[in-house]
Protein backbone atom coordinates (compact mmCIF):
# COMPACT_ATOMS: atom_id res chain seq x y z
CA UNK A 1 0.00 0.00 0.00
CA UNK A 2 1.48 3.27 -1.07
CA UNK A 3 0.87 6.25 1.19
CA UNK A 4 -0.80 9.51 0.19
CA UNK A 5 2.37 11.54 0.66
CA UNK A 6 4.33 9.08 -1.52
CA UNK A 7 1.65 9.43 -4.20
CA UNK A 8 1.87 13.20 -3.94
CA UNK A 9 5.63 12.93 -4.28
CA UNK A 10 5.26 10.83 -7.43
CA UNK A 11 2.73 13.23 -8.94
CA UNK A 12 5.04 16.10 -8.15
CA UNK A 13 8.00 14.35 -9.77
CA UNK A 14 5.89 13.54 -12.81
CA UNK A 15 4.76 17.16 -13.04
CA UNK A 16 8.33 18.39 -12.67
CA UNK A 17 9.49 16.19 -15.53
CA UNK A 18 6.56 17.27 -17.68
CA UNK A 19 7.33 20.92 -16.92
CA UNK A 20 11.02 20.39 -17.75
CA UNK A 21 10.07 18.92 -21.15
CA UNK A 22 7.63 21.75 -21.78
CA UNK A 23 10.22 24.35 -20.88
CA UNK A 24 12.86 22.85 -23.20
CA UNK A 25 10.37 22.58 -26.07
CA UNK A 26 9.11 26.14 -25.69
CA UNK A 27 12.67 27.49 -25.47
CA UNK A 28 13.53 25.65 -28.71
CA UNK A 29 10.39 26.94 -30.43
CA UNK A 30 11.28 30.48 -29.44
CA UNK A 31 14.90 29.93 -30.60
CA UNK A 32 16.27 31.10 -27.30
CA UNK A 33 19.60 29.80 -26.05
CA UNK A 34 20.39 29.83 -22.31
CA UNK A 35 21.38 31.91 -20.49
CA UNK A 36 18.56 34.38 -20.97
CA UNK A 37 16.32 36.37 -18.67
CA UNK A 38 12.59 36.67 -18.13
CA UNK A 39 12.46 39.86 -20.19
CA UNK A 40 14.19 38.18 -23.16
CA UNK A 41 11.65 35.38 -22.93
CA UNK A 42 8.71 37.79 -22.68
CA UNK A 43 9.92 39.74 -25.70
CA UNK A 44 10.38 36.56 -27.74
CA UNK A 45 6.79 35.48 -27.02
CA UNK A 46 5.78 38.14 -29.57
CA UNK A 47 6.59 35.46 -32.15
CA UNK A 48 3.56 33.63 -30.83
CA UNK A 49 1.54 36.84 -30.92
CA UNK A 50 1.70 37.19 -27.18
CA UNK A 51 2.67 40.76 -26.36
CA UNK A 52 3.85 41.62 -22.89
CA UNK A 53 4.73 44.88 -21.15
CA UNK A 54 6.71 44.60 -17.94
CA UNK A 55 6.93 47.45 -15.44
CA UNK A 56 7.89 47.94 -11.83
CA UNK A 57 5.13 49.41 -9.75
CA UNK A 58 4.94 50.92 -6.31
CA UNK A 59 2.95 48.50 -4.17
CA UNK A 60 3.94 49.92 -0.83
CA UNK A 61 2.59 48.05 2.16
CA UNK A 62 0.08 45.97 0.23
CA UNK A 63 0.71 42.20 0.53
CA UNK A 64 1.15 41.95 -3.25
CA UNK A 65 4.32 41.00 -5.15
CA UNK A 66 3.22 41.23 -8.73
CA UNK A 67 0.26 41.16 -11.01
CA UNK A 68 -0.69 40.33 -14.53
CA UNK A 69 -3.53 41.93 -16.43
CA UNK A 70 -4.69 41.31 -19.98
CA UNK A 71 -5.46 44.50 -21.88
CA UNK A 72 -6.59 44.06 -25.46
CA UNK A 73 -3.64 42.59 -27.35
CA UNK A 74 -1.30 43.03 -24.42
CA UNK A 75 -0.56 41.58 -21.06
CA UNK A 76 0.77 43.94 -18.45
CA UNK A 77 3.04 42.43 -15.87
CA UNK A 78 3.79 44.52 -12.80
CA UNK A 79 6.24 43.68 -10.06
CA UNK A 80 7.12 45.44 -6.82
CA UNK A 81 9.51 48.32 -7.39
CA UNK A 82 11.23 47.45 -4.08
CA UNK A 83 11.62 43.73 -4.83
CA UNK A 84 15.30 43.78 -5.80
CA UNK A 85 16.77 42.02 -8.85
CA UNK A 86 16.39 38.37 -7.80
CA UNK A 87 12.88 38.53 -6.43
CA UNK A 88 11.79 40.87 -9.23
CA UNK A 89 13.00 38.42 -11.88
CA UNK A 90 11.27 35.57 -10.12
CA UNK A 91 7.98 37.45 -9.88
CA UNK A 92 8.15 38.09 -13.63
CA UNK A 93 8.76 34.37 -14.32
CA UNK A 94 5.79 33.59 -12.10
CA UNK A 95 3.52 35.92 -14.04
CA UNK A 96 4.83 34.59 -17.35
CA UNK A 97 3.86 31.13 -16.06
CA UNK A 98 0.27 32.27 -15.68
CA UNK A 99 0.27 33.54 -19.26
CA UNK A 100 1.99 30.49 -20.80
CA UNK A 101 -0.16 28.01 -18.88
CA UNK A 102 -3.31 29.97 -19.70
CA UNK A 103 -4.20 30.84 -16.13
CA UNK A 104 -5.03 34.49 -16.56
CA UNK A 105 -8.64 35.53 -16.23
CA UNK A 106 -9.85 38.74 -17.93
CA UNK A 107 -9.68 40.38 -14.50
CA UNK A 108 -6.03 39.53 -14.19
CA UNK A 109 -4.12 38.03 -11.35
CA UNK A 110 -2.13 39.11 -8.33
CA UNK A 111 0.67 37.35 -6.48
CA UNK A 112 -0.15 37.08 -2.79
CA UNK A 113 2.16 35.08 -0.55
CA UNK A 114 -0.76 33.32 1.13
CA UNK A 115 -2.15 32.13 -2.22
CA UNK A 116 1.03 30.42 -3.39
CA UNK A 117 -0.06 27.01 -2.08
CA UNK A 118 -3.18 26.64 -4.21
CA UNK A 119 -3.17 23.97 -6.92
CA UNK A 120 -3.02 26.47 -9.77
CA UNK A 121 -0.30 28.53 -8.10
CA UNK A 122 1.68 25.38 -7.40
CA UNK A 123 1.63 24.48 -11.11
CA UNK A 124 2.60 28.02 -12.08
CA UNK A 125 5.46 27.81 -9.59
CA UNK A 126 6.65 24.47 -11.00
CA UNK A 127 6.71 26.01 -14.44
CA UNK A 128 8.44 29.20 -13.23
CA UNK A 129 11.02 27.20 -11.31
CA UNK A 130 11.76 24.90 -14.28
CA UNK A 131 11.85 27.84 -16.67
CA UNK A 132 14.10 30.06 -14.58
CA UNK A 133 16.47 27.17 -13.90
CA UNK A 134 16.69 26.25 -17.58
CA UNK A 135 16.93 29.87 -18.75
CA UNK A 136 19.80 30.51 -16.37
CA UNK A 137 21.81 27.35 -16.76
CA UNK A 138 20.55 25.28 -19.70
CA UNK A 139 19.77 22.53 -17.17
CA UNK A 140 16.33 21.40 -16.14
CA UNK A 141 17.28 19.69 -12.92
CA UNK A 142 16.58 21.60 -9.80
CA UNK A 143 16.32 20.61 -6.20
CA UNK A 144 12.87 20.71 -4.70
CA UNK A 145 11.66 24.21 -3.86
CA UNK A 146 15.11 25.65 -4.33
CA UNK A 147 13.74 28.70 -6.06
CA UNK A 148 10.08 28.59 -5.07
CA UNK A 149 8.74 32.13 -4.98
CA UNK A 150 7.24 31.65 -1.52
CA UNK A 151 10.62 30.47 -0.30
CA UNK A 152 12.45 33.44 -1.81
CA UNK A 153 9.95 35.88 -0.32
CA UNK A 154 10.36 34.23 3.08
CA UNK A 155 14.17 34.01 2.87
CA UNK A 156 14.51 37.64 1.92
CA UNK A 157 12.21 38.54 4.80
CA UNK A 158 9.92 40.32 2.41
CA UNK A 159 6.67 38.64 3.43
CA UNK A 160 3.90 41.13 4.02
Query: Which residues contact Zn ion by CB under 5 A?
Result: 121, 124
Q: Does residue 35 contact residue 142 with C-beta atoms inside 8 Å?
A: no
As a whole number of angstroms, the distance between CA 88 and CA 79 comes to 6
Query: Please, which residue, 77 or 124, has the CB nearer to Zn ion?
Result: 124
Q: State the nearest-atom distance from the C-beta of 140 to Zn ion, in Å.
A: 21
Q: 79 vs 38, 62, 155, CA distance in Å? A: 12, 12, 18
Please, which residue, 111 or 135, has the CB nearer to Zn ion?
111
In terms of CB distance, is 121 or 129 closer to Zn ion? 121
Q: How far is the CB of 20 from Zn ion (least distance, A)?
A: 20
CA 149, CA 126: separation in Å to the nearest integer? 10
Smallest separation, CB 76 to Zn ion (Å): 15
Q: Where are the beta strands (DSSP E) in the chain?
A: 51-57, 64-71, 74-80, 109-112
CB of 88 to Zn ion, least distance (A): 15
DSSP SS3 for 52: strand
**Residue with smaller CB distance to Zn ion, 29 or 120:** 120
Amino acid sequence: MIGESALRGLRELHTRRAMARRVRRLTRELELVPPFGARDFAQRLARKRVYIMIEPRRMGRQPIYGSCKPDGEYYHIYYRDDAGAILGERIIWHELGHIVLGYVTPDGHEVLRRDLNSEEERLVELWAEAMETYAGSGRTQSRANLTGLGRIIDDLGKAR
